Amino acid sequence: MKNIKVLGSGCNNCKNTIKLIDSTAKTLGIDIELEKIEGFEEIARYGIMSTPGVVIDGQVVHVGGVPSREKIQGWLQGK
């Protein structure tokens, strides 16, 4: 199971990123643990200056803007 964190202030891009990751994982039948992180201190620990940020299993994989469904599929499938 992948641990995925979406880091951001709660803006529409952050909300859309969470929804897109969740729906993509469900479509692929992949179990994930999805967290929303809004605390500035925790976001800053990852060095993210532009949100949303996406962290998978402790590794920053995306910063700024909503990622594409294809990009998310690649993350979830290990590509």
| 26 has pLDDT over 90 | yes
Q: Where are the domains of the chain?
A: 2-77
| 32 has pLDDT over 90 | yes
CATH homologous superfamily, domain 2-77: Glutaredoxin (3.40.30.10)
Task: Look at residues 60, 56, 64, 58 and name the one whose alpha carbon lies nearest to residue 24.
Answer: 56
Residue among 4, 6, 7, 14 flagged as catalytic: 14
Q: In what order do the strands lie in the sheet with 2-7?
A: 32-37, 2-7, 53-56, 59-63
Give the mean pLDDT of 43-54.
93
Residue among 11, 28, 34, 49 flagged as catalytic: 11
Give the mean pLDDT of 42-59.
94
The two most distant CA atoms of the chain are separated, in Å, by 33
Identify the band that residue 1 occupies on the pLDDT scale cut at 50, 70 and 90. Answer: confident
pLDDT digits (tens, 9 = 90+) for 56-76: 999 999 999 999 999 999 999
Residues 6 or more apart in contact with residue 62 via CB below 8 angstroms: 52, 53, 54, 71
| 79 has pLDDT over 90 | no
Annotated active-site residue 14? The verdict is: yes
